Amino acid sequence: MRWSHELFRILGHDPDTADRGVESLATFIEAVAVSDRELVRAALARRELFELEHRIVRPDGSVRVVRNRGEVGFGVVLDITDVRATEAQLVVADRFASIGALAAGVAHEINNPLAAAVANLDLVERSLETGRPLAFLRDRLRDASEGAARVASIVRDLMMFSRADDTRRTVDVANVLDSAVRLLTHDLKHRARVERSYAPVAAVYANEARLGQVFLNLLRNAIEALPNEDLERNAIRLGIVTEGSRLVISISDTGVGIPVEARSQIFAPFFTTKRAGRSNGLGLAICRRIVTDLGGEIDFDSEPGAGSTFRVSLPVRVPAIELVGWTPRPVPTRRYRILVVDDEPMITSALQRILGDHDVIVSNSARPAMDAIVAGARYDVILCDLMMPNMNGLDLHDELARIAPDQAARTIVMTGGTFSVDVRARLVESGVVQIDKPFDVDRLRELVARAAH
């Protein structure tokens, strides 16, 4: 077997000084990243022409992404690391451009329920002074609670969409698609009705943020293809079905359709049918890149004047089940000693009230909490905010794991927003239990009960 000078360089060797005795298939496979080796071996075992992407780990520990095309005895290896890095940057740039385009509409959708919540709370405060009936107060508080819940829902959708990591997990596709629809509520409600047809389906193994980016791009294209404010005719139809081992998501519109002459280039980077300044021409190209990376396919049908349908087909990775929401379990009534650590006094006060049937000790900084534990204080449960100055929730958990493992095992980290890839990786590695703000009270109580046992 002979290696070219370029292959030596890809593998991290100087072609002029490298030992020519290393030129073997076994040595090449040893250079393949451990997680990719079975993929490469399987391709070679088929003894037929193959093409695949995988990673190479060089002797210095650096990683290169390569495209390997060939068959047993002959092959071509291309270093595409820089290409993939550029594509990743474009995906992130497109995501933030989408968030920018959404900003005004999302702000409007947040401000409306927020204004209702504030107004109703003001009414409650005034009514307490004038002795209004209890029923009046209850109705106003219910309206304020509904408004706050709507704001919380929008924030959760934004958090899901804006995550920067590439972590893949079991994903409820219907939830991701509905999140994208909710983020576009402002654009949709005056433009088209949304019709859904979701069959009970399996989940897929994917990255929520990237899948949400695909749906958001396809939905925005569908909205822009519709005639202005013709609610009687305009419709966007969403479908999810299982076809064999594939899950198929369809997004259809009743818009103008795609011109025949444009269809062959519709997924090409920088190609757009929109007028200058309305699009960078990357949306559909990025959609195809993301879907392909997930092992899926994307295609479309279109008829001028009658609309378009885009279909995303993804491999099913778990047994088909009807997805159901979380169901709270009965919570024991034993009284716990709970430490709450958060730099926001409103949060610690709220948790004192929510968990008022327990002994709740609060601290607005992690360092004093750590000092108390070092001095011998012990708690049934520790609720700690993730993002705090000086010492954050993960720092506290890691330090407890070192000096008081029993307390680390009882720690729940509270998260109120997006965070970096490094922090997310640390969260996964630590295995610490997490709960998102704003809290689902039943969920919070169950996690507290679990941590205390």
217 and 295 fall within a common domain: yes
Q: What is the CATH number of the domain that holds 401?
A: 3.40.50.2300
Q: Which residue has the tokens 């409306």?
A: 112
Which pLDDT does position 44 carry in this prediction? 73
Residue 321 within a domain:
no
Residue 296 within a domain:
yes
The number of domains in the chain is 3
Virtual torsion, Cα 387, 389, 391, 393, nearest 10 deg: -10
Q: What is the CATH number of the domain that holds 215?
A: 3.30.565.10
Residue 269 has φ and ψ, to the nearest 5°, of -60, 140
Q: Which residue has the tokens 């709370």?
A: 121
Asked which of 79, 114, 132 is the last residue of a domain, the reply is 79
Which pLDDT does position 87 carry in this prediction? 66
245 and 111 fall within a common domain: yes
252 and 152 fall within a common domain: yes
Smallest CA-to-CA distance from 293 within 315, 318, 319, 308 is with 315
212 and 190 fall within a common domain: yes
Whether residue 438 has a cis bond before it, omega within 30° of 0: yes
Using 50, 70 and 90 to split pLDDT, how confident is the model at 371?
A: very high
434 and 402 fall within a common domain: yes
Smallest CA-to-CA distance from 301 within 261, 258, 239 is with 258
Residue type, 361: I
Which pLDDT does position 207 carry in this prediction? 85
Which pLDDT does position 227 carry in this prediction? 81
Residue 325 within a domain:
no
Virtual torsion, Cα 120, 123, 124, 126, nearest 10 deg: 160
108 and 219 fall within a common domain: yes
Asked which of 79, 98, 126 is the last residue of a domain, the reply is 79
Compute the residue count for the chain: 453
Asked which of 63, 79, 95 is the last residue of a domain, the reply is 79
Task: Please answer whether residues 1 and 23 qualify as being in contact, where contact means their C-beta atoms are separated by less than 8 angstroms.
Answer: yes
298 and 385 fall within a common domain: no
201 and 309 fall within a common domain: yes
pLDDT digits (tens, 9 = 90+) for 279-301: 555 678 888 888 988 889 999 99
159 and 301 fall within a common domain: yes
- Cα distances from 232 to residues 27, 192, 363, in angstroms, run 65, 8, 56
Which pLDDT does position 359 carry in this prediction? 94
Which pLDDT does position 287 carry in this prediction? 87
What's the domain range around 19?
Answer: 5-79
Q: What is the mean pLDDT of residues 321-347?
A: 70
426 and 357 fall within a common domain: yes
241 and 194 fall within a common domain: yes
Helices of type H across 233-365: 283-293, 345-354
Residue 329 within a domain:
no
Q: What is the CATH number of the domain that holds 56?
A: 3.30.450.20
Residue 353 within a domain:
yes
Which pLDDT does position 322 carry in this prediction? 39
Residue 383 within a domain:
yes
SS (H, E, C) 145-205: HHHHHHHHHHHHHHHHHHCCCCCCEEECHHHHHHHHHHHCHHHHCCCCEEEEEECCCCCEE
pTM to 2 decimals? 0.58
70 and 155 fall within a common domain: no
Q: Is 360 exposed, middle or buried (0-12, 13-18, 19+ CB in 10 A)?
A: buried
Residue with more model confidence, 268 or 48: 268
- Cα distances from 182 to residues 109, 153, 173, in angstroms, run 9, 9, 14
Residue with more model confidence, 52 or 143: 143
